[in-house]
């Protein structure tokens, strides 16, 4: 180990006292950075160090970023880079306790980098008035993670999703009947029932016999096989018209139907391939122009884009199902995002353009609804009394948002929550009802 390295380590241990003995971190870049980070953490309001590692080294003549010049974001990034997790947690606890509270509260991207801990939770609760809407959402997640709610928002979301898809759940029987003994047969009695469904008799039952474990394993295997077999069964989908079916089924199925001379299948296949090729050409041209930094308004007015949209309108004709197919294909990727919005108003009054916009609005609404449920509604719901009015309102919002087809649907759900929680009694602000109503108002979607 070099002398400079040893001296640098002693400098970090002794702090500024080491200056009196000519001990510095000179020549050890990482040690200098660590000294600056520790100095920033313990630096007093006057910029002077307060003990071990405080302040800049007296030997530092480089003009590098010292404690007084450092910011909370740069400090957090540097600590995450230089220290292992356990050390990071200790230092970040001190950061939360000593300084930078307002800056942490205002910046969700900064809060995300700090290891969740109890001191952070206390700070978030004490200074909740400093939280902006985005940081408030993240703060609820951190509190959930540290405090460990009985049923966290993440668990609720997962369970809610599974409740809507029972076909994805394998139900394992935890009760079964043993074959009757000779005596029970003689008395015309059934075999004894075994029940492993409870907490004590199941989850915490450490006294199961090997025979019981084998039986439960067998039942699990049987249930899983039955579930797999059921999923393999052919599924039927109902369509209102043949044209709707031809526009919705997979291309391979459509191609097979065309080979079998199914009525309208060849024409439908040709139309769908034309739409895909046309939109592919438009996307290729858009990417080329974007690579040349052409303004989006000029891209929307490019001949390939204009002619492509005109061709799609002509080919779709008056068929609502074909217009819908065009709309879905226009929104299959994000490559045309922004370009379609920049199309001049006089070229928007076509059926295919309206169909594309409708699909886009639907997808946008569903994406926003999903995020609202995950980040706003569910974290609030798991803290409500299941029998209270707040829980009922949030469940209504849940139902509307999960079925949302447009921004208006999303706004309807938000409006229900806003009207309820804005006026809900919360004298000391402990439950954060007014805060919650405000966050919902900020999430309202723009509509035409």
C-alpha span between 256 and 309 (Å, rounded):
29
Mean pLDDT for the chain?
Answer: 79
For residues 179 and 310, membership in a common domain is answered with no
For residues 298 and 329, membership in a common domain is answered with yes
pLDDT of residue 18: 59
pLDDT of residue 176: 79
Question: Which phi and psi (to 5°) does residue 176 adopt?
Answer: -150, 165
CA proximity to 99, closest of 56, 147, 67 = 67
18 within 8 A of 49, measured Cβ to Cβ:
no
Query: Among 187, 204, 232, where does a domain finish?
Result: 232
For residues 307 and 330, membership in a common domain is answered with yes
Question: Which phi and psi (to 5°) does residue 323 adopt?
Answer: -60, -40
Instruction: Report the range of poorest mean pLDDT among 69-78, 134-143, 408-417.
Output: 134-143
Q: Does residue 144 register a pLDDT over 90?
A: no
Query: Could you identify the residue written with the tokens 């204009």?
Result: 306
Instruction: Report the range of poorest mean pLDDT among 30-34, 44-48, 167-171, 185-189.
Output: 44-48
Query: Among 189, 205, 232, where does a domain finish?
Result: 232
pLDDT in tens, 7-49: 556 655 555 655 665 666 665 676 677 777 777 777 643 444 4
For residues 137 and 76, membership in a common domain is answered with yes
Element (DSSP H or E) covering residue 176: strand 175-177
Residue at 372 is within a domain: yes
Residue at 48 is within a domain: yes
Who has greater pLDDT, 187 or 399?
399
374 within 8 A of 381, measured Cβ to Cβ:
no
Most confident of 8-22, 68-82, 105-119, 121-135: 68-82
The pLDDT of 212-227, averaged and rounded, is 83
For residues 9 and 137, membership in a common domain is answered with yes
pLDDT in tens, 401-419: 999 999 999 999 999 999 9
Could you say which DSSP state residue 146 is in? I
C-alpha span between 79 and 87 (Å, rounded):
9
Q: Does residue 385 register a pLDDT over 90?
A: no
For residues 282 and 390, membership in a common domain is answered with no
State the maximum Cα–Cα separation within the chain, in Å, rounded to a whole number. 99
Buried b (16+ CB within 10 A) or exposed e, 429-447: eebbbebbbbbbeebebee
> pLDDT tier at 289 (50, 70, 90 boundaries)?
very high
Q: Does residue 337 register a pLDDT over 70?
A: yes
For residues 136 and 9, membership in a common domain is answered with yes
The pLDDT of 117-124, averaged and rounded, is 69
Classify 173 in phi/psi space as left (phi over 0), alpha (psi -120 to 50) or beta: beta
The pLDDT of 282-289, averaged and rounded, is 95
Residue at 156 is within a domain: no
Q: Alpha-carbon dihedral of residues 404, 410, 413, 415, nearest 10 degrees?
A: -160
Residue at 160 is within a domain: no
71 within 8 A of 62, measured Cβ to Cβ:
no
Residue at 102 is within a domain: yes
Query: Among 291, 323, 349, where does a domain finish?
Result: 349
Instruction: Report the range of poorest mean pLDDT among 52-56, 158-162, 364-368.
Output: 52-56
pLDDT of residue 254: 95
C-alpha span between 43 and 55 (Å, rounded):
6
For residues 14 and 125, membership in a common domain is answered with yes
> pLDDT tier at 263 (50, 70, 90 boundaries)?
very high
Could you say which DSSP state residue 181 is in? P
pLDDT of residue 438: 92
In terms of DSSP H, where are the helices of 127-187? 133-143, 153-164, 182-186
Query: Could you identify the residue written with the tokens 């594309």?
Result: 356
Residue at 170 is within a domain: no
For residues 43 and 142, membership in a common domain is answered with yes
Pairing of strands 175-177, 193-195: antiparallel
Question: Which phi and psi (to 5°) does residue 444 adopt?
Answer: -60, 135
Q: Does residue 51 register a pLDDT over 70?
A: no
Buried b (16+ CB within 10 A) or exposed e, 124-150: beeeeebbeebbbbbbbbbbbebeebe
pLDDT of residue 50: 39
For residues 272 and 221, membership in a common domain is answered with no
- The CATH number covering residue 436 comes to 1.20.1050.100
Number of domains, the chain: 4
> pLDDT tier at 365 (50, 70, 90 boundaries)?
very high
Q: Does residue 61 register a pLDDT over 90?
A: no
Residue at 161 is within a domain: no
For residues 53 and 76, membership in a common domain is answered with yes
Residue at 165 is within a domain: no
The boundaries of the domain holding residue 413 are: 361-441
C-alpha span between 30 and 202 (Å, rounded):
54
C-alpha span between 140 and 342 (Å, rounded):
38
Q: Taking the CB of residue 239, how many other CB atoms lie within 10 A of it?
A: 13
C-alpha span between 39 and 54 (Å, rounded):
4
212 within 8 A of 176, measured Cβ to Cβ:
no
For residues 113 and 215, membership in a common domain is answered with no
The pTM of this model reads 0.52
């Amino acid at each position: 180990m070099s002398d400079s390295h040893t001296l640098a380590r002693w400098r970090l241990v002794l702090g500024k006292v080491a200056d009196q003995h000519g001990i510095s971190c000179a020549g050890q870049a990482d040690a200098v950075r660590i000294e600056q980070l520790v100095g920033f953490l313990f630096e007093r309001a006057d910029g002077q160090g307060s003990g071990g590692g405080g302040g800049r080294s007296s030997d530092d003549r480089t003009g590098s970023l010292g404690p007084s010049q450092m910011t909370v974001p740069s400090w957090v990034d540097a600590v995450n880079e230089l220290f292992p997790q356990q050390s990071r947690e200790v230092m970040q606890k001190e950061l939360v306790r000593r300084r930078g509270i307002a800056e942490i509260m205002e910046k969700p991207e900064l809060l995300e980098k700090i290891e969740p801990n109890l001191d952070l939770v206390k700070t978030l609760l004490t200074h909740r008035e400093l939280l902006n809407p985005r940081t408030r959402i993240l703060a609820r997640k951190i509190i959930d993670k540290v405090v460990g709610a009985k049923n966290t928002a993440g668990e609720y979301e997962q369970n809610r999703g599974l409740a809507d898809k029972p076909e994805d759940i394998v139900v394992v029987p935890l009760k079964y009947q043993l074959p009757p003994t000779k005596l029970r047969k003689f008395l015309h009695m059934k075999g004894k029932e075994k029940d492993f469904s409870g907490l004590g008799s199941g989850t915490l039952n450490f006294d199961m016999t090997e025979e019981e474990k084998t039986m439960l394993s067998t039942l699990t295997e049987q249930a899983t096989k039955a579930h797999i077999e059921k999923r393999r069964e052919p599924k039927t989908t109902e369509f209102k018209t043949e044209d709707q079916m031809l526009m919705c089924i997979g291309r391979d199925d459509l191609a097979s139907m065309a080979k079998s001379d199914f009525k309208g299948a060849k024409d439908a296949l040709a139309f769908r391939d034309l739409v895909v090729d046309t939109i592919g050409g438009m996307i290729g041209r858009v990417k080329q122009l974007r690579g040349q930094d052409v303004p989006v308004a000029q891209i929307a007015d490019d001949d390939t884009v204009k002619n492509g949209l005109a061709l799609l309108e002509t080919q779709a004709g008056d068929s609502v199902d074909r217009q819908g197919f065009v709309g879905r294909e226009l929104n299959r990727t994000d490559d045309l995002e922004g370009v379609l919005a920049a199309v001049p108003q006089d070229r928007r009054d076509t059926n295919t353009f309206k169909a594309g916009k409708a699909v886009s609005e639907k997808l946008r609404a569903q994406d926003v609804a999903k995020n609202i449920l995950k980040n706003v509604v569910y974290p609030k719901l798991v803290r409500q009394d299941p029998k209270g009015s707040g829980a009922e309102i949030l469940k209504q919002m849940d139902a509307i948002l999960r079925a949302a087809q447009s921004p208006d649907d999303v706004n309807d759900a938000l409006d229900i929550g806003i009207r309820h929680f804005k006026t809900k009694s919360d004298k000391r602000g402990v439950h954060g009802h007014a805060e919650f109503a405000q966050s919902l108002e900020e999430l309202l979607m723009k509509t035409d």
